[in-house]
Amino acid sequence: MSVHPSAVIAAGAVVPDSCTVGPFCTIGADVVLGEDCVLVSHVVLDGRTRIGARNTFYAFCAIGVAPQDLKYKGEPTATEIGDDNTIRECVTISRGTEKGGGVTRLGSNNLLMAYVHIGHDSQVGSHCILANCATLAGHVVIEDYASVGAFCPVHQFCTVGQYAFIGGGTIVTQDVLPFSLTSARRENKAFGINKVGLARRGFTPERLQRLQKAFRLLLAAKMNTSQAVEKIRQLEGADAAILANFIERSQRGIIK
């Protein structure tokens, strides 16, 4: 194990020999690290935190710290992180709360840019990008392959659907449609599908055409949301069903 002399690792912490712990890092007693993790410098890992393999934490991250919730009274809640994540400078991830499910989760293969905040009990999937200063309040769900732009605050209990792209500076107070390109110009609005992002992820032209048809029914046809969902369910392909199911289970309403 490569551990800088100024690092502090509490008795009880599990740190494999393949890990690198840089200067002035602190690792709490209930932290479990996977293989080949790198803590660059000044990283704080705290609480009941379980971290997978090959994660890199840059300077001044604070992971598994107590939630910013006045109701929290020191309950033994947790943070869980998957594999192959890049967590850049000054990222903060709060552990869960007892009433919120008790666990904050981050999947695998994510990029969290500088100053990202993931609030208590949030659930972030895999292959996501959270740009600089993206801020998730408590209980937020970010589904797989979603991208949250810089300086985007996401309100409590909102869900960002899979493959969605949120433009920088968008204030998210309702659920963001999967596959959508959503941004704030004068007001928050879905501008159709995230065509470039979906193509980069391997969506075929035929699949994109079917999604575009579904979004036209939802955003451009002279129908209310319930009528549009009924029409979307009649379209071919699993993506249409994913979109319809997302809309029907939304609790905060969707950004159209």
Task: Check: CB of residue 128 under 8 Å from CB of residue 108.
Answer: no
- The Cα–Cα gap between 256 and 248 comes to 14
In terms of Cα–Cα distance, which of 173, 161, 57 is closest to 116? Answer: 57
Find the helix packing angle between 205-219 and 225-232, rounded to 10°.
150
Asked if 203 and 162 count as a contact pair (C-beta separation under 8 A), the reply is: no
Residue keyed to tokens 């209930």 = 30
Catalytic residues: 120-121, 138
Task: Say if CB 81 and CB 109 are below 8 A apart.
Answer: no
